[in-house]
Amino acid sequence: MTCAGDVGGDMHAAALKRENTMCGHNFEFIDLFAGAGGLSEGLESAGFHGLFANEIVPNYSETYRLNHPGTVVSTSDIRSLDPRAIRKKMGIEREELDLLAGGPPCQGFSINAPVRSVNDRRNHLFKEFLRFVDAFAPRAVLIENVPGLVSFAHGATLHAILDALAELGYGSDVRILGAAYYGVPQMRWRTIIIGLRGKNLPANAFPEPIRHAPIRPNFTAMFDGRSLLKMPTAETSAPFITVRDAIDDLPPLKNGEQGERIKSYCHEPDCDYQCRARVGSPGVVNHEAPRLSDINLKRLEYIAPGGNWTDIPDELLPNGMQVARKSDHTKRYGRVHPEGLASTILTKCDPHWGAYFHYSQDRSFTVREAARIQSFYDHFVFTGTQAQQFAQVGNAVPPLLAQAVGLSIKTILKKGV
C-alpha cells in the first residue's frame, strides 16, 4: 500500500515572524498545560499554528519544544506568568487570537484518583486558564479534561467553568467524546468544552463521530438532565481502527530488547492508519521493549489474544488477585486482541493495570506502540527516560481526536471571518 532558550527573546522573534506572515488569515492558538503536545499536534493538523505553549514539567516541555520548533515554549509555573505581558511581547492585540486551548491537570478529580477533593490545588488551576482568556479575549476557547470533571463536586466545578466563561462573554457548552469514534484505536474518553466569544455556540460545534466502536462509558455522563455523550448515528458506517491496524508494521522485539535507536519498519504499510503514521518519519524511534519480570513472562504463557488475568493459574497471581472475583479487573494482565481496541493508554503500560501485553510477541508495549495507539505520528520524538516517555504519551490528548475538534472550531471561525 502506498501511502529552550530565552523565552522573552523567543517571543520577540516570534512576533517579528508573525508580523511578516500576516498577509492572509492564519488560524493561531496558544496551548496552556500543554504536556508533550498531543493537543497541539491535532490542532496543527487541523490547520492552526501554535504561537506559545506553557508546560511546567521540564521533560514534557523538552519534548514539546523538540517537536514544535516554531512555537515559543515556557516551562514556568503558570501562576507566575503575566498573560498581558506575554500578549504584548508576542505582538498580539486583544481579541485577535483565534483560539486559546488547554487541559489543566485532571488528577485531582479523575474518576481513577483515590481522593477527589475540592481542596486539591490542581483543581483550581482553571482560574489560571481564565486569566489568559481575560487577557487575550480569543475568538474561541477549548478546554479538555477527563470525564470525571462532569460528576466532580456534583457538577459544581463544571458549572463554575461554564459560568466563568459566560461572565467573560463566551457562549459555551460541553460534550464527552469517545476517541475511538474519531479513529483512535483505544477505549478513551475526553470531556471537551468549547466557547465562542460574543456568540452562542452553534449546535454543530462538536465534531460528529466518523466511526462505530464497541466502547461503553464507565462514568457519569449526565449533566443538568441531559447526556453529554456524542454518539455515532445510524449513518456512521466506518469501522473502528484496530490494534493490528495501529502497530502491526512496527519491527518485532523480544522482551527487554533495545536494538538500534532508529529501526526499520517490518513491512510496507497495509492500511491508511499506518500510512498516516509514517508521514515525515525516517524510521521507528522510541521503540524499545520494557523488560518484564520472570513471573510476568510465566503469566503471559497462559494468556491468549483477548485474554486476561482470569486465564492465569491462581498460584501465579498476586495475592490480592487470587481472591478477586473473576468478573472484576477484566483488563489486568490482558493480551490485546489484534482485531479489537486497546485499553486506555495510561502513564505507564504496566500489565497489572491494563491490557498492555502485545498480541503476538511475548512482551509489553513499547513507547512507540503506545504513541501509535494514541495516534501520534512516528516523526514525533519523546525525550527523557523510558518511564518519562510513557508518562508523556499516557497524559496526552490523542492527536486525531484533537484534530477533529480543531476542524470543527475552524469551521465555526471561518463562518465568522
Domain assignment of residue 310, yes or no = no
- Torsion angle in degrees (nearest 10) through CA of 230, 236, 241, 242: 100
Render pLDDT for 23-81 as a digit per residue (tens, 0 to 9).
445 899 999 999 999 999 999 999 999 999 999 999 999 999 999 999 999 999 999 99
- If one counts the domains in the chain, the total is 1
106 in active site = yes
Segment among 77-86, 148-157, 205-214 with least mean pLDDT: 148-157
pLDDT value at residue 390: 98
Q: Mean pLDDT throughout 243-256?
A: 98
pLDDT value at residue 105: 64
CA dist., res. 98 & res. 122, Å (int): 27
Domain assignment of residue 32, yes or no = yes
**What's the CATH code of the domain at 198?**
3.40.50.150
| Residue 396 identity (one-letter amino acid) | A
pLDDT value at residue 245: 98
Please give the span between the terminal C-alpha atoms of the chain, in angstroms, as a whole number.
Answer: 40
**For 263, phi and psi rounded to 5 degrees?**
-110, 160
pLDDT band at 417 (very low <50, low <70, confident <90, very high): low
pLDDT band at 4 (very low <50, low <70, confident <90, very high): very low
pLDDT value at residue 187: 94
Q: b or e along 126-138 (b: 16 or more beta carbons within 10 Å of the residue's beta carbon)?
A: bebbbbbbebbbb
pLDDT value at residue 416: 80
Domain assignment of residue 297, yes or no = no
Mean pLDDT of the chain: 90
pLDDT band at 95 (very low <50, low <70, confident <90, very high): very high
pLDDT value at residue 236: 87
Going by C-beta distance under 8 Å and a sequence separation of 6 or more, which residues neighbour residue 345? 186, 188, 370, 373, 374, 393, 394
Domain assignment of residue 71, yes or no = yes
Render pLDDT for 177-188 as a digit per residue (tens, 0 to 9).
999 999 999 999
Catalytic residue, chosen from 3, 23, 106, 266, is 106
Domain assignment of residue 193, yes or no = yes
pLDDT value at residue 25: 56
Q: What percent of the chain has a predicted confidence (pLDDT) above 90?
A: 78
Instruction: Tell which wins on pLDDT, 170 or 153.
Output: 170
Render pLDDT for 162-178 as a digit per residue (tens, 0 to 9).
999 999 999 999 999 99
Domain assignment of residue 166, yes or no = yes
pLDDT value at residue 355: 95
Q: Mean pLDDT throughout 207-225?
A: 94
**For 170, phi and psi rounded to 5 degrees?**
-115, 130
Using the Cα atoms of residue 390, residue 393, residue 396 and residue 397 in order, give the sign of their dihedral. negative
Domain assignment of residue 284, yes or no = no
pLDDT band at 112 (very low <50, low <70, confident <90, very high): very low
Q: Residue 247 above 70 pLDDT? A: yes
Domain assignment of residue 91, yes or no = yes
Render pLDDT for 285-308 as a digit per residue (tens, 0 to 9).
999 999 999 999 999 999 999 999
Domain that holds residue 62: 7-237+398-416
Q: Model-level pTM?
A: 0.91
Q: Residue 110 above 70 pLDDT? A: no
Burial of 149 (0-12, 13-18, 19+ CB in 10 A): buried
Q: Residue 111 above 70 pLDDT? A: no
Q: Mean pLDDT throughout 314-324?
A: 89
pLDDT value at residue 286: 98
